[in-house]
Amino acid sequence: MKQAMVYENGTFISKDFPLTASGSVSNFNNLFVFPAFCDVHVHLREPGFSYKETIKSGTLASARGGYTDVCAMPNLNPVPDSAEHLKEQLDIIKKDAVINVHPYASITIGQLGEKLSDFESLKDAFAFSDDGKGVQSEALMRKAMLKAKELDKIIVAHCEDNSLLFSGYIHDGEYAKKHGHRGICSESEWKPIERDLKLAKETGCKYHVCHISCKESVELIRKAKAEGVDVTCETAPHYLVLTDMDLKEEGRFKMNPPLRSEADRLALIEGIKDGTIDMIATDHAPHSAEEKSKGLEKSAFGIVGIETAFPLMYTYMVKTGIITLEKLIELMSTNPRKRFGLKENGYTVWDLDKKFTVNTRDFLSKGKATPFENYELYGECKMTVQNDIIKYIKE
């Protein structure tokens, strides 16, 4: 038996904690036991792109990060836009997944934004999303919301207006002036959110917004919630820690949406504190080394984050006094499970005193591109257990 701080019923209590692992865990100073985390936004890349990540490698990395549930986006080949295509992914999950994987079905056929997927045949899917691409047609999004409402499913939206892409610099500071990179302006994010919130209010659809990054998005969602719209949203650790002034001429700093201003970062933090932002998701998006080696302008969009999410948030949000540890557990476990109907099914054990330097050679994910390389963080995952089965243990 070991003494630990165990999170129960929204608070931490000191109690004896039985270790069921074979072997010993080396350091139990400041040991904390949390309900296992849940990430509603990951890219596991199978089927179709296993050179970037596999179900096996992605779920191993997730377990190391303290997760027992991840929700996999449909940017795949084939796109899960039919029961037949979804089954290809489900078969791999059944064979190789280390933890629970909940696959999204696509809103539109091929994620092309032209025609709705067969929602009826996909009614057993976790939820519907075209993540990576915004649904450009208001009429089509209305149809999707009405169908989702009928099936009691959530529409999960990557909000991006293609007509506004590359209409503004990545940011307006000295970096943009020096390097001249044109990027994805804030309006391309908040304008579709504004549209979709009106549609969600009209249709009564459950609506969730992916990876919000700017102050306008926070304000729109705050207002919609006050008006009773059934909306939730997520942001990611990199938007809470970094700004556009942290950019470097390296592919590991390229993600979509991009890093934004300090004013945007502070607005996101305020949204976290007042409950406008419901959860923290990673948008874990692995690519090959070659795809991320082409500099900030030409590299593929996406960074990895499933193995560093909790240490980043603990170091930069909890230890700095911005939020409590209890609040962080709500954001990473309680709230995503509640919104998406996923039951608590395990726990994860952390040494919060352990300080380490981020080294991508240690990652279990096949993806290595992170802007947090060489950052010093606090918090080491000692063990993750799901349904009384050990999924990860730090030897």
Could you give the residue numbers annotated as active site? 283
Q: Which residues pair with 260 in a beta bridge?
A: none
Strands 346-357 and 31-35: antiparallel
Q: Is the backbone of residue 220 left (phi > 0), alpha (psi -120 to 50) or beta?
A: alpha
CA angle 226, 72, 121 (to 5 degrees): 90
> Cβ contacts of residue 104 below 8 Å, gap of 6+?
71, 72, 73, 74, 80, 125, 126, 127, 128, 129, 131, 156
Tell me the C-alpha to C-alpha distance, in Å, between residue 172 and each of 102, 187, 243, 267. 39, 14, 12, 17
| Run of H or E including 113 | none
| Run of H or E including 252 | none
Phi and psi dihedrals of 375, rounded to 5? -70, 145
> Cβ contacts of residue 350 below 8 Å, gap of 6+?
31, 32, 33, 34, 66, 310, 379, 380, 381, 382
Q: How far apart are CA 271 and CA 293, in angstroms?
A: 34
DSSP letters along 260-306, please? --HHHHHHHHHHHHHTSS-EE---B----TTTT-SHHHHSPS----T
Token match 């899960």: residue? Answer: 80
Q: Are 75 and 353 in contact (CB under 8 A)?
A: no
Tokens of 232: 């939730």
